Amino acid sequence: METASKPHVLLVPYPGQGHVNPMIQFARRLVSKGLKATLVTSIFIAKSMKLGSSVGPVQLDVISDGYDNGGFPKADSVDTYLERLKVAGSRTLSELILKYQNTSNPIHCVIYEPFLPWALDVAKEFGLLGAAFFTQPCAVDYIYYNIQHKLLTLPISSTPVSIPGLPLLEFRDLPSFVRLPDSYPAHLEMLINQFSNADKADFILINTFYELEPEAVETMSKVCPVLAVGPTVPSIYLDKRIEDDDDYGVDLFPLDASISSNWLSTKPERSVVYVSFGSFSGLSEEQMEEILWGLKKSNFYFLWVIRATEEAKLPNTFMEELGDKGLVVNWSCQVKLLTNKAVGCFLTHCGWNSTIEAISLGVPMVAMPLWSDQPANAKLVEDVWKVGIRVKVDEEKGIVTRDEIELCVREIMEGERGKEVKKNVEKWSELAIEAISEAGTSDKDIDEFVSKLVKT
């Protein structure tokens, strides 16, 4: 039987796969520490995924994003979506908190993604604790902090850019919204506004671990004390302290899990290149063809996750000619693929979830960043952590050529540099496990968060 004294946290991610997953994994960890956790999704996501009332020990509930029958694709623009999300989300989040106020488990703290600063405003209207949960690396978060506080001025007039606690950043290393501010004004505003009211938050939580970003964490902690609580990877792959935790439990796309695992089971150890560019970004037909040819020329097996909406961009007969050399699936559980012994390399867009999963699970990367925080993440992958190599874009064509794809894949899979990368990523994997294990740096930060909630 639940007791009224058990602190109840409400987790409010931005409504998207890459935002829901780390938040739900963090929720599982909080439950394992004795809290009650309810994760909020949009009404559209809950309906389209046919979600029940819980994922494992984490309770689920809903708020509206203003597009209950279609979600983000129904919006005219990013600006329109974010505005309706703010209006509808604020109203329905307030209603949700009121609903729980009249139960034996009222909300004590709202853990919100800072893309949604209005969620903190709602929490404070009810006198609740507020915890910002950043789903990008500390280094990238601190770039946006510097812009919001006018310590870094846009547009960038010269490089390298020097920010305390970060490596020197060339133009190609900057987040796309910073590098080309006029191209993504709504996204840039959303990311800068993460810090618009963060000074009112009671906690700043970041999905990273101290050993991975010590300089960034220490520097940012001087202006807003940071708790590094990652990596938010299912426990079975790390510390194994949470039962029945081998998946995030929420997927916005239908899974082809058995197809992938069956195909991989027939392949030699470390012989497969796993390819995925995430749940959001798209590639041009020309770029997809170059990747396919580069993979084919490398002569390694490859498994490429391509969303159903992107599949039409593939050359008509190419996959038929591949035979058993390559497999394309629409979606699969990424952590399970990355831990498969047949996988030797990850060709990735360097979204933060993918990056920290690969680091935590010890998989070398070929980094092919597309937008947002990905260029900065790729910089860290190649030059700071040295767990992968970054492809070079052909400046004339504006894409990554098949020869470049082949070269980078070969280097990671069988080259001398690849051997060094493998050693490095194994080291970082061990440090990730140590951080989240009992008495590790992240475990201590999570305990600090929990203990403060229990005392209030």
pLDDT-derived band at 2, boundaries 50, 70, 90 = very low
62 phi and psi angles, rounded to 5 deg:
-135, 155
What gap in Å lies between CA 419 and CA 415, rounded to an integer? 7
Count CB atoms within 10 A of the CB of residue 39: 25
pLDDT of residue 1: 40
- On whether the CB atoms of residues 230 and 208 are closer than 8 A, the answer is yes
Tokens representing 195 are 């810090």
Domains of the chain: 8-246+438-454 (3.40.50.2000), 256-432 (3.40.50.2000)
Whether 202 shows a pLDDT value over 80: the answer reads: yes
Cβ contacts of 38 within 8 Å, gap of 6 or more: 8, 9, 10, 11, 58, 59, 60, 61, 100, 107
pLDDT of residue 254: 56
Q: How far is CA 27 from the centre of its chain?
A: 15
34 phi and psi angles, rounded to 5 deg:
105, 5
pLDDT of residue 322: 77
Tokens representing 8 are 């109840």
Q: Pick from 207, 229, 183, 263: which is nearest to 450 by CA? A: 229
Whether 165 shows a pLDDT value over 60: the answer reads: yes
Taking each helix axis from N to C end, the angle separating 352-361 and 416-436, rounded to the nearest 10 degrees, works out to 90
pLDDT in tens, 269-310: 999 999 999 866 789 999 999 999 999 999 999 999 988 778
Residue type (1 letter), 223: V
pLDDT in tens, 250-275: 655 555 567 788 899 999 999 999 99
- Cα Rg, the chain, nearest whole Å: 21
pLDDT-derived band at 207, boundaries 50, 70, 90 = very high
Q: Pick from 416, 282, 432, 294: which is nearest to 363 by CA? A: 432
User: How large is the average pLDDT for residues 214-225?
Assistant: 97
Whether 179 shows a pLDDT value over 60: the answer reads: yes
pLDDT-derived band at 351, boundaries 50, 70, 90 = very high
Distances (CA, A) of 420 to 275, 298, 386, 387: 21, 20, 8, 8
pLDDT in tens, 384-422: 999 999 999 999 999 999 999 999 999 999 999 999 999
pTM: 0.95
pLDDT of residue 16: 83
Mean pLDDT of the chain: 93
Q: Pick from 99, 110, 164, 135: which is nearest to 15 by CA? A: 135
Strand, helix or coil at 209? Answer: coil
Whether 149 shows a pLDDT value over 60: the answer reads: yes
Count CB atoms within 10 A of the CB of residue 431: 17
Taking the alpha carbons at both ends of the chain, their separation in whole angstroms is 21
